[in-house]
Structure 1
Amino acid sequence: MSRCHQGIGWPILVVVISTRDGVGRLLRRDAAFRGLFAARTISFLGDSLSLVALMLHVADTAGQALAVALLLLVGDLAPALLSPLAGAVSDRWDRRKVMIVCELVQAGLLAAIALSLPPLPLLLVLVGARAIAGHVFLPASRAAVATLVRPGDQAAANSALGLATNGGEAVGPLVAAALFPLVGVQGVLLVDAATFLLSALLLVRLPQLPPSSPDGEPGHDGGGSLLGGARAGLAYLWREPALRIIGLGFCAVVAFNGIDDVALVVLAKDTFDAGDSAAAALLAAVGIGLFAGYALLARWSSQASMLWLLVAGFAVSSIGNLLTGLAWAVAAAFTLQTVRGLGIAAMDVATNTLLPRLVPDAMLGRVFGNLYGAIGLAAGVSYVAGGLLLDATSAPATFVIAGAGGTLATVAVAVTLPRALRRAPRPRQP
């Protein structure tokens, strides 16, 4: 899903809240999860640093909006297209080693970019390669939670990771703004490379995380080629009814609602005849809701049904957009978008917690990789189709149509998923 716009005060508030609940206890008693938590937080902080630095560098040197768009495209589209292979890597080798190698590769590529600041074509190649390494890291890290954390604590762990990574993305641009006058673009990129090195050092302290074979014993994905493993992962995701419903439902909700960032700017300026400050406030609303949602889920998610948390997340995200299209003022739209952020947090935590209960460890990396890769492609479809719809109609109409489509997808999931979950096997996890 698209990057969210957040404020700096929220990460601090969330950390304060979380230290008083199950997340705080989990971080205090579980050194392995604490290391993964710190590594992912630092890694996402660095990622946001380099994004800001590279966007400004390309804008200054290329002087075209198309160049910035290409930069964002290679950072999002290329990894999404290679998601089946990215997930297969984490199911084939020790996931701790996969994560460490990915962080070292990203550090090396960023250092090369910083020291050379190459022309745009080569820069795009290097940025795409770094993005692919980051995309291999993600399914391995999500699957690692299922091994490192007890099942009863996994919802709280996923909530903590959600608020930490979003906090890193929120603080990153502010840190970049503070560093630019001191060290320039090259210095910011080198700082980002250092964050990936620090993340790799933290991951070295984790226990070994070899994926299990289908019978639950430590091993790998059963041999054969990496491409064959990727094909098997895609077939498994489509073959299992519960996974198919979750994947199609999530992608449908994102495909309908992913246009919100662009539509919010048009809604503020054209529909409400407000200025840049109002547009920025609307863009920040979802981020505020996300932080609040992760904080609440960190405290209460262990008591929730992941099935209905997922359905509620789909519903709140979609209905929030539908009602935003009917909003009469900036304040009303801001409130609705904040509530939408709660729904997006619920979707994320429920999915990351539910999948390990349905998927054997030998397939978990591929399922995570394929699902989130498909979600990235759905977001791309939403940008294109939503932009065309926005040009053809208006911002309110776009929000109503998007929200209505997402709501219909939510109803379909609510009707079909409970039965599929009752029939789904419960694999034994390591």
Structure 2
Amino acid sequence: MPEQQAGYREIFAVREYRHLFAANLLSLIGDQLTAVALSFLVYQRSGSSLLAALTFAGSYLTWVVGGPLLSVLADRLPRRRVLLTCDLIRAGLVLVMLIPGTPVPLLVALAFVANLCRPPFQSARASLLPDVLDGDRYPVANGLDNIVAEVTQVAGFALGGLLITAGSAQTVLVVDATTFLLSAVLIATGLRRCAAATQAAAEPSGSWWSETTAGVRVVFTNRTLRSYLLLFWLSCLVYATEGVVAPLAGEYGGGARTVGLLLAMMPAGVAVGGVLLTRFCSPELRRRSMLPLAVLSCAVLLPVAGHPPLPVVLALLFVSGLAGAFSIPLNAVFGRAVPAAYRARAFGVAMSGLCAVQGLAMLGAGAAAEAVRPTLVVGGVALLATLAVLTVVATWPSPDRAPVSEPVREPVGV
């Protein structure tokens, strides 16, 4: 019997999801405000562009460092407790930043520690969703969350800039701490108390390192989960384009406005694609379109190598993002396939790997743009990503080449 398609009304009918959604929205806004306010404050006090950039980049570096390690907490402790603790720690650290005369190195360190709370928070939340939402509600909620994340990233930066202009960085930090406190209230009042994901929480089966590597083994020793993850990571190589938007805009004789347009196209495409996939496509169509869309998201940027007109480049970037929305149903399939006891660690591995792939791809693209024109770099990255994705598609584990969402057994030894 085909799975019944769900809508936004169905997912918001679930009280726990309403609270998780609102708490996540507030935490995302808080993360963006922290990045904006601290970067401005550090630059204002130190005059160092490097320190300001390091403060901003810390929000991404913490996923690489803390993704696999700290997501263990979301499997070994009650996930509601992890969410609450992360929000309260972040609120407390932001309030400490408000103390007058706080040295700049301490501000950078506090920002880094606050950002370290993101991996366990997001991993715990992602792990809860398959338990809170049944049937097609889960992938629809994933689509909505993705859209909200894209919009919040832009709106959070804009809001931070406006608040700094109207008041000060300290004003933004007060608002920031408030968002985390409100998120904690929503979690405390809206989520039922629950046990840890595994009964082994009280008696860990080994060292922290062995607990971390257990999550890695669950993903990479299973062909199905490994294929899901590789498809996601390798398709995201095209985001290396973001690393060369400034020289790309310069190639077309544009300035800051052109840079903004180039940066906005792919996120806008993902947001629109998320709506189309989750609201207007059946669950079966979503599953069967994932592989073609994954290939399209990379291959559509190949013509950029020929230096087409700027409007064509913008359109191609938008279509790339539109097709890149395949990651929304893929994320839902991945979440349901991972054993519940390792779900948070699996999401931590996925996100840390994504940050590493995107970061290295951007660095490589930037280095290549020193030697060749940026449009050729974008086309070359698209070719590399397309070939990589086709390799994964050629070895896809499902006989009918469409992912399924049955649970995957834990590998022996884990």
Fold equivalence (TM over 0.5) = yes
2:224: which partner in 1?
A: 242
1:284: which partner in 2?
A: 264
1:13: which partner in 2?
A: none
Which protein has the bigger helix share? 1
CA–CA distance in structure 2, aligned partners of residues 184 and 146 of structure 1:
41
Residue 133 of structure 2 is aligned to residue 188 of structure 1: no
What letter is aligned with 2:368? L
Residue by residue over 1:127-165, the C-alpha shift from the partner in whole angstroms, topping out at 9 and shown as x without a partner, is 111111011111111111111000321110101111122
Q: Helix, strand or coil: the match of 1:328?
A: coil
Residues 34/268 of structure 1: CA separation in 2 closer, same or farther (3 Å cut):
same
Alignment of 1:27-42 (within 5 A): 27-42=11-26
Residues 320/327 of structure 1: CA separation in 2 closer, same or farther (3 Å cut):
farther
Give the Å deviation of 1:198.
Answer: 0.5
Alignment of 1:21-420 (within 5 A): 22-116=6-100, 118-204=102-188, 205-213=190-198, 220=201, 223-224=204-205, 225-254=207-236, 256-270=237-251, 272-304=252-284, 307-347=287-327, 349-419=328-398
CA–CA distance in structure 1, aligned partners of residues 131 and 147 of structure 2:
20
What letter is aligned with 1:52? V
Which moves more between the two structures, 277-286 or 89-98?
277-286
Conservation of the 8 A alpha-carbon contact between 2:124 and 2:344: yes
Give the Å deviation of 1:116.
Answer: 4.1
Give the Å deviation of 1:260.
Answer: 1.0
CA–CA distance in structure 2, aligned partners of residues 414 and 221 of structure 1:
41
CA–CA distance in structure 2, aligned partners of residues 50 and 424 of structure 1:
37
Residues 54/208 of structure 1: CA separation in 2 closer, same or farther (3 Å cut):
same
What letter is aligned with 1:320? V
- Give the TM-score taking structure 1 as reference length: 0.86
Conservation of the 8 A alpha-carbon contact between 2:63 and 2:351: no
Identity of aligned pairs, percent?
A: 25
Residues 154/175 of structure 1: CA separation in 2 closer, same or farther (3 Å cut):
same
Give the Å deviation of 1:123.
Answer: 1.8
What letter is aligned with 2:180? F
CA–CA distance in structure 1, aligned partners of residues 102 and 296 of structure 2:
44
Which moves more between the two structures, 98-107 or 75-84?
75-84
Give the Å deviation of 1:302.
Answer: 4.6
Q: Helix, strand or coil: the match of 2:148?
A: helix
Conservation of the 8 A alpha-carbon contact between 1:212 and 1:221: no
Give the Å deviation of 1:423.
Answer: 10
What letter is aligned with 1:266? P
CA–CA distance in structure 1, aligned partners of residues 405 and 28 of structure 2:
34
Residues 264/352 of structure 1: CA separation in 2 closer, same or farther (3 Å cut):
same
- State the Cα RMSD in Å: 2.5
1:11: which partner in 2?
A: none
Give the Å deviation of 1:167.
Answer: 2.2
Residues 314/147 of structure 1: CA separation in 2 closer, same or farther (3 Å cut):
same
What letter is aligned with 1:314? A
**Structure 1 stretches of 5 or more lacking a match?**
1-20
What letter is aligned with 1:378? V
Q: Helix, strand or coil: the match of 1:258?
A: helix
Residues 320/142 of structure 1: CA separation in 2 closer, same or farther (3 Å cut):
same
Q: Helix, strand or coil: the match of 1:396?
A: helix
What letter is aligned with 1:231? T
Give the Å deviation of 1:354.
Answer: 0.9
Give the Å deviation of 1:247.
Answer: 2.3
Conservation of the 8 A alpha-carbon contact between 1:87 and 1:369: yes
CA–CA distance in structure 1, aligned partners of residues 156 and 380 of structure 2:
34
Residues 142/195 of structure 1: CA separation in 2 closer, same or farther (3 Å cut):
same
Q: Helix, strand or coil: the match of 2:122?
A: helix
What letter is aligned with 2:34? S
Q: Helix, strand or coil: the match of 1:391?
A: coil
CA–CA distance in structure 1, aligned partners of residues 351 and 10 of structure 2:
26
- Give the TM-score taking structure 2 as reference length: 0.89
CA–CA distance in structure 2, aligned partners of residues 423 and 304 of structure 1:
10
Give the Å deviation of 1:263.
Answer: 1.9
Residues 119/268 of structure 1: CA separation in 2 closer, same or farther (3 Å cut):
same
CA–CA distance in structure 1, aligned partners of residues 176 and 7 of structure 2:
27
